[in-house]
């Protein structure tokens, strides 16, 4: 491709709303252009990279017997209503009506579409196991799109679906995907870890997320370097330190003016925060036959801990949670800043499992400026639900080995789910076993977003000059720069560059040829910004010595090779870059 014909312009400055490096560089290098919040056009350079990523996905899926298909992004609402997700999923789902008034969905994932197809196509155990996949546009109306391709509303995803007779079959296909996903990320040279995660709206009984560790990540992960435990903070467990046993004391009302925070209360009473309880009021939304209903939830954790909203949402079976407003809190008789479960009625009380084991806590008195000392679970109040609802934090003890865990940030670049039979039972996707019995198909679901993966690779590989893309996903393998200019009176530079371009292309190499009438500085800056692994430069100085200049993007040194060896040397270097990626691949098996 000649840059003089390329539909792309590099920019000297990044747009003002581009906060992270991948967003800045992908825009500046001409890879992407924003059309609306969370909606981007993949320009020709990005499209080539995304296609390479998707072909790596195809290759790895095909290796585990995947069959590629294509399902529509527009789904009839009936199949989503059958699984209950029409009501369960919030406004992030794209809903509309066609011209006949029929409810439709812009799919954010394709579990419903899969079972709708499989219901009619799979009848016998002899057709199982099976694995199908597609690479398709998705829509998720995210309320806070940010960070370029990291968090968007329209995106492309490879999602695959395993179909089995039983859980043993699902276990096998889950393990296959677990390994294949590490291969995909390894071939893109993106370092990732797999952590246990919440199943969320997908359902099922087990899920793992593939996380790229980076400060820009929105997810917090808890990792144990000693035993290898890893989990998203949404579900991370930790060994809780029980309070020392002590005599249960009489409850006492005390004045605590202007002490609405745990820190202020602990300071006033000269006690550790662990001797207080922390109250968080949430409104839990649940789907019922009468429609969506909200319930006020009174959640309590120990004062030195934080509430984990995902754990709370799972504990109460809610679709979503939001912070309760002051008037909603007062309506149940509680006083914001001085709230207590003591004496409250008509409110769903959920306490962390450490609260019943923590005697003589300080809690609110539901009266402005007053708290209770020596509040004890069982005597002074009880809960509707006792569960682990506390968030694991940096330094907490690992639930497996007890060592201190560390908290890090990460970007989720892939996920895998053991769905089981929830979707197949809801839609009636069954098979007949060897004994003639009808049984639901056991399913798994597995996804990777190609755009987020590209952005994460850019986050990992860049410098102050621009992108440094791995050879496997670079839009081109070679960036050929012609420095003809006004000094090329004889036309030797232009003639040589044109011939090398033809020879490299004929040899099957992918070449971006900068044939523009620009200064050397502009061309070199653009080459660094675009980030293709190998740059060849045809200029007067090297040609006088019978050679051309060669430079790898990730290195500062330049070298010179004879013009006659341009193709041979380039092929050798490019092959070496591919071999390096494959040689560094590690087979990672699932040990769950």
> In this predicted model, what pLDDT tens digit does every residue of 412-423 receive, in sequence order?
999 999 999 999
Mean per-residue pLDDT, 210-225: 94
H helices within 531-565, ranges in order? 540-544
Domain with 413 in it: what CATH number? 3.30.930.10
- Has residue 575 been placed in a domain? yes
What pLDDT score does 225 carry?
A: 94
Mean per-residue pLDDT, 57-78: 97
Same domain (yes/no): 163, 304: no
Place of tokens 């579990």: 111
Same domain (yes/no): 209, 77: yes
Same domain (yes/no): 264, 313: yes
* 219 pLDDT higher than 60: yes
User: Binning pLDDT at 50, 70 and 90, where does residue 200 land?
Assistant: low
* 586 pLDDT higher than 60: yes
Domain with 272 in it: what CATH number? 3.90.960.10
Question: Does an H or E element contain 306, and which?
Answer: none
Instruction: Among 21-30, 86-95, 178-187, 549-558, name the one with the lowest average pLDDT.
Output: 86-95
Q: Which two tokens stand for residue 359?
A: 């005697």
- Has residue 242 been placed in a domain? no
Same domain (yes/no): 57, 204: yes
Question: Does an H or E element contain 74, and which?
Answer: strand 74-76
What pLDDT score does 317 carry?
A: 87
CB 189 within 8 A of CB 223: no
Instruction: State the residue range of the domain holding 542.
Output: 468-582
CB atoms within 10 A of CB 130: 18
Instruction: Among 25-39, 145-159, 207-221, 310-324, name the one with the lowest average pLDDT.
Output: 310-324
* 276 pLDDT higher than 90: yes
Domain end residue (candidates: 358, 387, 416): 387
DSSP conformational letter for 387: E
Same domain (yes/no): 450, 473: no
- Has residue 537 been placed in a domain? yes
* 186 pLDDT higher than 60: yes
Place of tokens 């794209």: 94
Same domain (yes/no): 72, 214: yes
CB 362 within 8 A of CB 375: yes
* 17 pLDDT higher than 90: no
Q: Which two tokens stand for residue 360?
A: 């003589």
Asked if omega into 129 is within 30° of 0 (cis), the reply is yes
Angle between helices 21-28 and 450-460 (to 10 degrees): 100
* Residue partners of 107: CB distance under 8 A and separation at least 6: 71, 72, 73, 74, 75, 113, 136, 138, 139
Instruction: Give the CA count within 13 Å in the CB-facing half-sphere of 559.
Output: 10
Mean per-residue pLDDT, 451-468: 97
- Has residue 150 been placed in a domain? yes
* 450 pLDDT higher than 90: yes
For residue 131, the SS3 value is: strand
- Has residue 230 been placed in a domain? no
Same domain (yes/no): 111, 172: yes
The predicted-structure confidence for 244-263, as pLDDT tens digits, reads as follows 888 999 999 999 998 888 99
CB atoms within 10 A of CB 186: 21
- Has residue 25 been placed in a domain? no
Domain end residue (candidates: 352, 387, 422): 387
Backbone CA torsion sign across 479, 485, 487, 491: positive
For residue 547, the SS3 value is: strand
> Closest Cα partner for 24 from 467, 457, 322, 401?
467
Domain end residue (candidates: 338, 358, 387): 387
Mean per-residue pLDDT, 93-114: 96
* Partners of residue 445 on adjacent β-strands: 161, 417
Phi, psi of 27 (to 5 degrees): -75, -50
Same domain (yes/no): 301, 378: yes
User: Binning pLDDT at 50, 70 and 90, where does residue 408 land?
Assistant: very high
What pLDDT score does 176 carry?
A: 97
Same domain (yes/no): 368, 417: no
d(CA 224, CA 399): 9
The CA-based dihedral angle spanning residues 430, 445, 43, 499, taken in that order and rounded to the nearest 10 degrees: -100
Mean per-residue pLDDT, 302-320: 91
Mean per-residue pLDDT, 447-464: 97
Domain with 496 in it: what CATH number? 3.40.50.800
Same domain (yes/no): 448, 481: no
Instruction: Among 56-70, 76-90, 192-206, 496-510, name the one with the lowest average pLDDT.
Output: 192-206
Number of folded domains that form the chain:
3
- Has residue 337 been placed in a domain? yes
Same domain (yes/no): 197, 258: no
Place of tokens 């998720």: 140
- Has residue 241 been placed in a domain? no
Mean per-residue pLDDT, 545-570: 94
Question: Does an H or E element contain 366, and which?
Answer: strand 361-367
Same domain (yes/no): 437, 517: no
d(CA 65, CA 351): 47
């Amino acid at each position: 491709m000649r840059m003089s014909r390329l539909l792309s312009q590099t920019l000297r400055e990044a747009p003002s709303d581009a906060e992270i490096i991948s967003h800045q560089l992908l825009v500046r290098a001409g890879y992407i252009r924003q059309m609306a919040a969370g909606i981007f056009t993949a320009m020709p350079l990005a499209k080539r990279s995304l296609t390479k990523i998707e072909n790596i996905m195809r290759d790895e899926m095909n290796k585990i017997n995947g069959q590629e298909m294509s399902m529509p992004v527009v789904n009839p609402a009936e199949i989503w209503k059958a699984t209950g997700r029409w009501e369960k999923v919030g406004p992030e789902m794209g809903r509309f009506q066609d011209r006949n008034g029929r409810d439709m969905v812009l799919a954010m994932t394709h579990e419903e579409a899969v079972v709708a197809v499989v219901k009619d196509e799979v009848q016998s155990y002899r057709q199982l196991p099976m694995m199908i996949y597609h690479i398709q546009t998705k829509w998720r109306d995210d309320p806070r799109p940010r960070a370029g391709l990291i968090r968007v509303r329209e995106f492309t995803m490879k999602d695959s679906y395993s179909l089995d007779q039983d859980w043993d079959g699902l276990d096998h296909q889950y393990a296959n995907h677990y390994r294949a996903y590490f291969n995909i990320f390894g071939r893109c040279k993106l370092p990732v870890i797999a952590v246990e995660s919440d199943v969320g709206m997908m359902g099922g009984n087990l899920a793992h997320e593939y996380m790229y560790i980076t400060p820009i990540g929105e997810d917090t992960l808890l990792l144990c370097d000693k035993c290898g435990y890893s989990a998203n903070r949404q579900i991370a467990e930790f060994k809780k330190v029980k309070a020392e046993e002590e005599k249960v004391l009489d409850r006492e009302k005390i004045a605590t003016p202007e002490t609405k925070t745990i820190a202020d209360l602990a300071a006033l009473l000269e006690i550790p925060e662990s001797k207080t309880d922390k109250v968080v009021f949430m409104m839990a939304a649940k789907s019922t036959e009468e429609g969506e209903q909200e319930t006020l939830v009174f959640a309590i954790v120990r004062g030195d801990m934080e509430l984990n909203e995902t754990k709370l949402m799972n504990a109460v079976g809610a679709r979503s949670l939001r912070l309760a407003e002051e008037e909603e809190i007062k309506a149940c008789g509680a006083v914001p800043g001085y709230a207590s479960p003591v004496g409250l009625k008509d409110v769903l009380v959920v306490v962390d499992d450490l609260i019943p084991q923590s005697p003589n806590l300080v809690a609110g008195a539901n009266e402005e400026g007053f708290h209770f000392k020596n509040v004890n679970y069982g005597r002074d109040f009880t809960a509707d639900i006792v569960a682990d609802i506390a968030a694991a934090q940096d330094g907490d003890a690992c639930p497996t080995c007890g060592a201190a865990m560390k908290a890090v940030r990460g970007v989720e670049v892939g996920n895998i789910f053991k769905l089981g039979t929830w979707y197949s039972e809801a839609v009636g996707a069954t098979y007949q076993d060897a004994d003639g019995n009808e049984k639901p198909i056991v399913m798994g679901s597995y996804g990777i977003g190609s755009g987020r993966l590209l952005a994460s690779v850019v986050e990992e590989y860049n410098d102050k000059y621009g992108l440094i893309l791995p050879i496997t996903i670079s839009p081109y393998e070679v960036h050929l720069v012609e420095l003809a200019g006004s000094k090329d009176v004889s036309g030797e530079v232009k003639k040589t560059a044109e011939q090398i371009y033809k020879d490299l292309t004929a040899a099957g190499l992918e070449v971006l040829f900068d044939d523009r009438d620009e200064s050397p500085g502009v061309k070199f800056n653009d080459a660094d910004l675009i980030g293709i692994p190998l740059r060849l430069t045809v200029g007067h100085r090297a040609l006088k010595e019978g050679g051309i200049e060669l430079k790898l993007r990730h290195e500062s040194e330049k070298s010179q090779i004879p013009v006659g060896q341009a193709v041979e040397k380039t092929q050798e270097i490019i092959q070496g870059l591919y071999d390096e990626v494959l040689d560094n691949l590690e087979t990672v098996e699932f040990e769950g």
